[in-house]
Amino acid sequence: MFTFREMFASLAPFFNFREMFASLAPFFNFREMFTSLAPFFTAAVVIVLSPFVKEHIPSAVSNYLVSMYEQWLSRFFTRVTVVIEEKGDLNISNQVYEAVRAHLRTLISNSTKPKPKRFKVNKEGRQNESIIGIAENEEVIDIFDGIRLSWKFHDVRRDVYGQNVTDRYFELSFDKGLENKVLESYLNDIVARYESVVKIYSRDEAYYNGGIASTSVERDAGWIYAIFKHPFTFEKLAMDPKQKEILINDLKRFLGRKDLYEYVGKTWKRGYLLYGPPGTGKSSLIAAMANYLKFNIYELSLSHQLTDEDLRNILLSTTNRSILVIEDIDCCAELANQRKKKDPFTLSGLLNIIDGLWSSCGEERIIVFTTNHKDKLDPALLRPGRMDVHVHMSYCTIDGFKLLATNYLKIEGDHQLYRQVEDLLKNINVTPAEIAEELLKSGGTDVVLRGVVEFLEQREREKTKVADLKELLKSADIDVDAEGLAKFLEQKKLEKAKTTEAEQLLKSADIDVDAEGLVKFLKQKKIENAKAAEAKCINPNES
C-alpha cells in the first residue's frame, strides 16, 4: 500500500507541485476557495456533531463554540484591503498611487498575463502609442511570490459646495497575515521600479486653466510628465574636462551627505547656476545630470503669471530625488518685475520659498538655473550660499571638438585635419551646437571634417570683416555697434539677392512690374499682418 506522502514523493521528479500551484494561482484563489467553503464546512461539522451536541451540550455553549470556531477560521482567511489615494493628506500627488498606476499599465499590457474583462485604451496628443489602463471597478489580478493580489480602481465624483471633486484611488486586497510582505516587498518594489525610471515634468497649463486637456502625456497634480528618454551622458558632453570632473565629484559628494546636512540643519539641496551662450550645452548638461543621478526633471517657466500660491503648490508637488530647472532666469527676472503687483516676486524670494518648503518636507533636491547673461542677474542671487556651484559652459575648444568628432564620426585617435581645426578654434567663437550641426552632415569622415574646416574658415572671414568695420567706424569716429552693422549689411545683401531673384522670376513670367517695388510691397504686407496678429493676441475678444 502507498501512502499519499510516498505517492507525492515518487511523482516529485516529474512534477514541480509548487510551480504548478503558482501557475494556477492567477486562475484559482485557493485561500478564497477555502474561505467561501468555510461556512459549509462549519455547517457540516455542526450537523455531524449535532446528535452529540443536542444530547450533551447546552445550545448557548454549542453556539459559542461554533462562533469561536468561525473566528478561528477567519483569522486565516479574512481579506485585507489597502487604499492608495491619488492625493495624500497634503492634497499633493501621492507617489505610491503614480507608481501603482504605472505598474498596472504594464501588468495589463503584458501579453502573457490574463487581461481583465474591461480595460481602458487611450492615445492623447503627442503620445507615441496607445496606453492601456485599468477601468473603474474592474478587478485586476497580480501574482507576487505566489501571493494572489487583487487590484481595483475607483473614480468617485462628488459635489463639494457646487464644485465637482474627483476622488481617485486604488484598492489592493490580499489575504490577512500577508500585510508585511505585501507592504514591504511588493509595494516597495513597485515604487522603486517607478522611481528608477527618470521622468521629465512640465507645468500642466490645463490644470491651472479650468482643466481643459492639452496635449499632455501623463498628468500628475499640476504637472504633465513623460519618461525622460534623452540619452545624454557626461561622456558625451563637450566641456572642460577638469570642470566636468569637479562637477561629477560635487554631485557624488552631495548625494552622500544626508547625515551632514541633517546634522548642521541645512536643507539637503544643491543649487547650480549654468551660464554661457546659447548652444553651449546647458540643457544637455541637465540631461546628463538627471541620467547620472537618476533624478526626475521638473521644468518650471516663471514667464507665466503665477500666483505665490500656485508656486507653493507647484513646488510642494515635486518629488524628492528631483532637479528643478528654471531656464533663462535673466528673462524670468525681468518678467517677474514687470508684473503689476504690489509685491513682485524676486528670484531670491523664490529661493527662500524653496528653502522653506523643501526643508520641511523634502530630501535630496537639486535646483538648476540657466542663463545666457550672468551679468544681468540680480547680485543677491549670485551671493555665496544662494547658488552653490557656478558652471560656465563655453564655446567649443579643441578638446570639446575631438570629443564631438569621436561621438558623431566615431574617429579613434588623431586626424590630420585636427591641427587646422585647432588653429581656427583659437581664433573664433563657435558653439558645440554649431559644430554638432556640421558633424551631422552626410558624407564620409574626411568629407564632413573638411566641411567643418570650411565652416570655421567662413566664420573667420566674417570675424575679420566685423573687425575691419569696427576699425573703420573707430577711425571715422562714428558711434555704431559694428556687429549690428555687419548683421544689417548681411540682411541687405540677402534682400538684394531676393530682389534679383524676383526680377528673374518676373522676367521669365513676362510681367511688367518693378521687382524692387514688389519686394517692398510684400515686406510691408508682412509687417502689417504681423501687427494685426499681435493686436489679436493682446485683445483676443476683438473681432
Ligand X SMILES: Nc1ncnc2c1ncn2[C@@H]1O[C@H](COP(=O)(O)OP(=O)(O)OP(=O)(O)O)[C@@H](O)[C@H]1O
Q: Which residues bind ligand X (CB under 6 A)?
A: 236-239, 278-284, 372, 393, 404, 432-433, 436
Closest of 424, 60, 396 to residue 238, by C-alpha: 396
Q: Which residue(s) pair with 225 in the sheet?
A: 201, 218
Tell me the closest approach of the beta carbon of residue 136 to ligand X, in angstroms: 42
Tell me the closest approach of the beta carbon of residue 97 to ligand X, in angstroms: 33
Pairing of strands 163-175, 79-85: antiparallel
At residue 156, φ and ψ (nearest 5 deg) are: -105, 125
Q: Give the start-end residues of each E strand in 223-277.
A: 223-227, 269-275
Tell me the closest approach of the beta carbon of residue 197 to ligand X, in angstroms: 22
Tell me the closest approach of the beta carbon of residue 250 to ligand X, in angstroms: 18
Eight-state DSSP code of residue 87: B
Cβ proximity to ligand X: between 178 and 404 the closer is 404
Distance of alpha carbon 429 from alpha carbon 393, whole angstroms: 13
Cβ proximity to ligand X: between 222 and 432 the closer is 432
Residues written for the chain: 543
Cβ proximity to ligand X: between 295 and 401 the closer is 401
At residue 392, φ and ψ (nearest 5 deg) are: -95, 120
Interior/surface letters 460-492, b for 16+ CB within 10 angstroms, e for the rest: eeeeeeeeebbeeeeeeeeeeebeebbeeeeee
Cβ proximity to ligand X: between 84 and 393 the closer is 393
Cβ proximity to ligand X: between 182 and 237 the closer is 237
Cβ proximity to ligand X: between 306 and 396 the closer is 396
Using an 8 Å Cβ cutoff, are 362 and 323 in contact?
A: no
Tell me the closest approach of the beta carbon of residue 247 to ligand X, in angstroms: 12
Tell me the closest approach of the beta carbon of residue 277 to ligand X, in angstroms: 7
Distance of alpha carbon 385 from alpha carbon 267, whole angstroms: 12
Tell me the closest approach of the beta carbon of residue 227 to ligand X, in angstroms: 18
Cβ proximity to ligand X: between 392 and 536 the closer is 392
Tell me the closest approach of the beta carbon of residue 407 to ligand X, in angstroms: 7
Interior/surface letters 399-419, b for 16+ CB within 10 angstroms, e for the rest: ebbbbbbeebbebeeebebbe
Closest of 121, 118, 88, 85 to residue 100, by C-alpha: 85
Cβ proximity to ligand X: between 120 and 236 the closer is 236
**Residue of minimal Cβ distance to ligand X:** 281
Cβ proximity to ligand X: between 151 and 369 the closer is 369
Using an 8 Å Cβ cutoff, are 364 and 268 in contact?
A: yes
Tell me the closest approach of the beta carbon of residue 102 to ligand X, in angstroms: 28
231 to 227, 285, 435, 505: CA distances (angstroms): 12, 11, 19, 47
